[in-house]
Structure 1
Amino acid sequence: MHLTTAAAVRSTLRVVRPFHTFEGEGFPVRRPFPQPGLPLLDPFLMVGQVGPHVLGPGEAKGTPPHPHRGFEAIQYVIEGSVEDIDSAGRQGVLRPGEVRWLTAGSGLVHLARPTPELLAGGPQHLLQIWLNLPARLKSTPPRVRYGRAPGDIPRIVTEDGGAELTVIAGSTHGVRGPFETHTPVLVVHARLAAGGSAGFTVPAGHNALLYVLSGTAATPDARLPD
Structure 2
Amino acid sequence: MRTVNKIIGGRPINVGSIKVQELLPNNGEFFSPFLVFHHGIAKIEEHIPIHQQGVGPHPHRGFSAISFIYRGGVHHRDSRGNNHKVYAGGTQWTSAGMGIIHSERVPEDIFDHGGEQELLQVWVNTPAAHKMDQPAYYPATAEETPTIVTEDGLTIVRVPAGNVNGTKGIIPTFTDVTTAMVDMKAGGHFTFNFNASHNTLVYVLKGKITINATHVVTTKQLALMNNDGDSFTITATEDTILFVGSGEIINEPIASHGPFVMNYQTEIMEAFRDYQMGKMGVLIEE
Do both proteins adopt the same fold according to a TM-score greater than 0.5, normalized to the shorter chain?
yes
State which drifts further: 163-172 or 112-121: 112-121
Secondary structure of the residue aligned to 2:129 is: helix
Q: What letter is aligned with 1:179?
A: I
Q: 1:141 aligns with which of 109, 117, 134?
A: 134
Between the aligned partners of 2:197 and 2:211, the Cα distance in structure 1 is 19
State which drifts further: 55-64 or 140-149: 55-64
Counterpart of 2:119 in structure 1 is 126
Between the aligned partners of 1:115 and 1:58, the Cα distance in structure 2 is 15
Q: 2:87 aligns with which of 83, 87, 95?
A: 95
CA drift at 1:56 = 4.6
CA drift at 1:204 = 2.1
Counterpart of 1:173 in structure 2 is 165
CA drift at 1:57 = 1.9
Q: Higher Cα Rg: structure 1 or 2? A: 2
CA drift at 1:110 = 1.2
Counterpart of 2:191 in structure 1 is 199
Q: What pairs up with 1:1-226 in 2 under 5 angstroms? A: 9-24=1-16, 26-36=17-27, 39-51=29-41, 54-58=43-47, 61-118=53-110, 122-150=115-143, 152-220=144-212, 221-226=214-219
> Is this contact kept in 1: 2:55–2:103, CA < 8 A?
yes
Between the aligned partners of 2:166 and 2:57, the Cα distance in structure 1 is 40
State which drifts further: 98-107 or 55-64: 55-64
Q: What letter is aligned with 1:136?
A: A
Secondary structure of the residue aligned to 2:26 is: coil
Between the aligned partners of 1:54 and 1:212, the Cα distance in structure 2 is 20
How many residue pairs were aligned?
214
Instruction: Identify if the C-alpha distance between structure 1 residues 195 and 146 changes in structure 2 by more than 3 Å, giving closer, same or farther.
Output: same
Secondary structure of the residue aligned to 1:57 is: coil
CA drift at 1:119 = 6.3
Between the aligned partners of 2:15 and 2:86, the Cα distance in structure 1 is 19
Q: What letter is aligned with 2:77?
A: I
Q: What letter is aligned with 1:127?
A: L
CA drift at 1:118 = 2.2
Gaps in structure 1 of 5+ consecutive residues: 1-8
Between the aligned partners of 1:35 and 1:149, the Cα distance in structure 2 is 30
> Is this contact kept in 2: 1:57–1:119, CA < 8 A?
no
Secondary structure of the residue aligned to 1:204 is: coil
Counterpart of 1:3 in structure 2 is none
> Is this contact kept in 2: 1:68–1:108, CA < 8 A?
yes
Percent identity of the aligned residues? 33
Deviations 1:41-72 (A, max 9, x none): 11111111222x65452466212221100001
Between the aligned partners of 2:43 and 2:19, the Cα distance in structure 1 is 12
CA drift at 1:89 = 2.1
Instruction: Identify if the C-alpha distance between structure 1 residues 149 and 160 changes in structure 2 by more than 3 Å, giving closer, same or farther.
Output: closer
> Is this contact kept in 2: 1:54–1:124, CA < 8 A?
yes
> Is this contact kept in 1: 2:2–2:196, CA < 8 A?
no
Secondary structure of the residue aligned to 2:183 is: strand
Deviations 1:126-180 (A, max 9, x none): 1211100011001000111111342x20222123433111111111233111112
> Is this contact kept in 1: 2:58–2:101, CA < 8 A?
yes
Between the aligned partners of 1:11 and 1:28, the Cα distance in structure 2 is 31
- What is the RMSD of the two structures over their aligned residues, measured on CA atoms? 1.8
> Is this contact kept in 2: 1:162–1:198, CA < 8 A?
no
Between the aligned partners of 1:31 and 1:217, the Cα distance in structure 2 is 20
Between the aligned partners of 1:203 and 1:215, the Cα distance in structure 2 is 27
Secondary structure of the residue aligned to 1:210 is: strand
